[in-house]
Chain A
């Protein structure tokens, strides 16, 4: 909680009802709120209001949310959570590929949104690279390329390790299939390559999860990509 207290959140949404709902609830959770009802105003607020995080609606009346996202990303890397209506998977993927940190679909549960905001803020807070990732039962030693589950060494192939490293070092964040393919296999790739991704994620789950159909580490974001589930640190 300490990291989130007093954090300033900019809400960019054209629906007064949604803005009101967000404002009331997020204030109750201890956040400071800035508001913008359109894209241009959102970019302006982002530049002068010094927010710590932006909640951005993709469907805006003046400029598209995607455009706002790109403009903000030109000069800052503060976390941006995209709010979108579920229908358009392409939009979500495009937003994540263009630098959004997470997305929440409308209609959304308030608890989920607050949790996502916390994760994004925490992530922004300790962006400094650590040599060893402690993720609940899983420990990844980035320097020695070692993975341990409950203290036991897990044997991974180089590709599996690369995938796990990318997902775990962005724990809590959605990584799109394209981002994973690009970072692990590099270069250009086409659609059928998503098959490789599925197979390797399958292998990883087999090695890490107790029940691969009820994953506790790597969660599938349907149609978009994968997310390393953030294990709440004990205590």
Chain B
């Protein structure tokens, strides 16, 4: 207790200005004496005002009064006859001393006040600048850790004190979330945590300079907006005075308010995102369940039905019937296989497991593979391929792109009548390789144009054609992973067209030298 009192005393009456003033006046006296100003008392008195002004500007009121007193004493002792004595020969000098002291006091007060106002204005400007910087940063930040880091460093920089922020963790327990750099352990420990929890619970500031827990060295301010409390900001005010001025208190509250509203903004957007995600996944789950249960159960029913029919009534069927049933089993299984492939593809796309392996692709070769794949399935439709010469090469994952083309061509087959024509066209247009698949089928309703690429969305014109609405969604995912685009164009009368554009990326095409002029 004694020690802190002494320290407080030292802080309040710092000895350094008084020593400097004493030395200054002594030096001034010596110089004036040496220069022989002894008989020019008015000038000397004016010169003695100088240290008074100086100390008023640099050290404030008390040192300047001290300088005035010391000045009068020195003036009296050295320059007022009889010299080297405090006695005064002419009593009028006493009046002069009085006037001198009054002038000194007045100027000192004015200078000190001016100085204080300047200091205040500077501080206010710094605070405003700091608040402005912080508020500007707050709006641009989308990550809570970065945001807290900024708040902490900004507050610490402005107040020159260690700062800590507490936020509730996932379990709702308050935890130390951010600390200013060079913080020597402030904010850690059970005591600090207890204060933080107290503040968090009551949404009221506590610690030094407040009505609560004032013996604690730090000041704890709640971060709250009108609706809720988000955390606690703690600051240890020791350097720079210890006493918390109303001004810095206001600044801290402004910082806390800013930080709270920024945290609120982030939390709200996080919650909104989560809510949207939950709703979306809920919708998807329902769609998947509906579609999977229908799409899997239908072929399963035909498979089980046909197989049990064959087992139970072995003798009843003609060979043609048996073949019929067996074909049904095979087709059901193939249909299930398509669905499972698409579902797995979707899962891969969604979970980010899809990795592109970019190889050189030959559009003609790819179409060859696609045609071979849909060969059994196309029945009587005529598939016409229009390829440019030379056939364009480009970089892409050929397997995935083939899957895209197979899906698109299968759709064209599914939604067009037997005997109609399907045209597949490939051409290069600037930096793009374009694929177009046109059919003469039912087409796409204009309202569905954009939505046909949504997961589990099925157009209105699909009628009785089975499907899950996954194929085109997967196509879109794959094409976009390649940096390309896929779009549908509707011709209600003459079918639909799907257009795929992929970046040509022919820049780094290895140069194929025509090494072989000679042929066999």
Contact = CB atoms under 8 A, between A and B. Distances in A.
Interface of A: 86-87, 89, 107, 145-147, 155-159, 161, 191-196, 198-199, 201-202, 212-215, 219-220, 222-223
Among B344, B369, B387, B509: residue with most chain A CB under 10 A? B369
A213 B385 contact: yes
Interface string B40-82: 0000000000000000000000000000000000000000000
Given A194-B359, A198-B362, A157 B367 contact: no
Contacts of B361: 198
Contact of A213 (B387, B399, B509, B510): B387
B359 A191 contact: yes
Nearest to B330: A109
A213 B367 contact: yes
- Report the contact-size class of chain B (Cβ under 8 Å from the partner): 20 to 34
A213 B516 contact: no
Q: Chain A at the B interface: mostly helix, strand, loop or mixed?
A: mixed
Nearest to A161: B520
Contacts of B516: 157-159
Interface string B324-368: 000000000100010001001000000000000001111011011
14 contacts: A87-B344, A157-B519, A158-B520, A192-B360, A196-B510, A198-B360, A198-B362, A198-B365, A202-B364, A213-B371, A213-B387, A215-B368, A222-B369, A222-B399
Contacts of B519: 155-157
Contacts of A215: 368
Interface string B505-520: 0001110100110111
B215 to A, nearest CB: 68
A107 B333 contact: yes
Nearest to A153: B520
Contacts of B512: 195-196, 199
B497 interface: no
Contact of A199 (B341, B369, B387, B393): B393
Given A157-B520, A158-B520, A198 B367 contact: no
Contacts of A147: 520
A195 B393 contact: yes
B518 A157 contact: yes
A23 to B, nearest CB: 18
Contacts of A157: 516, 518-520
Given A196-B512, A202-B365, A213-B367, A219 B393 contact: no
B368 A89 contact: no
Contact of B399 (A146, A192, A223): A223
B402 interface: yes
Contacts of A202: 362, 364-365, 391
B439 interface: no
B267 to A, nearest CB: 41
A161 B509 CA distance: 24
A107 B360 contact: no
Nearest to A195: B360
A158 B517 CA distance: 10
B32 to A, nearest CB: 93
Nearest to A211: B385
A220 B372 CA distance: 10
Contact of B364 (A89, A145, A213): A213
B398 interface: yes
Counting from the closest, the 6 A-B pairs by CB-CB distance are: A195-B360, A157-B516, A155-B519, A223-B399, A198-B362, A213-B368
B520 A146 contact: yes
A88 to B, nearest CB: 11
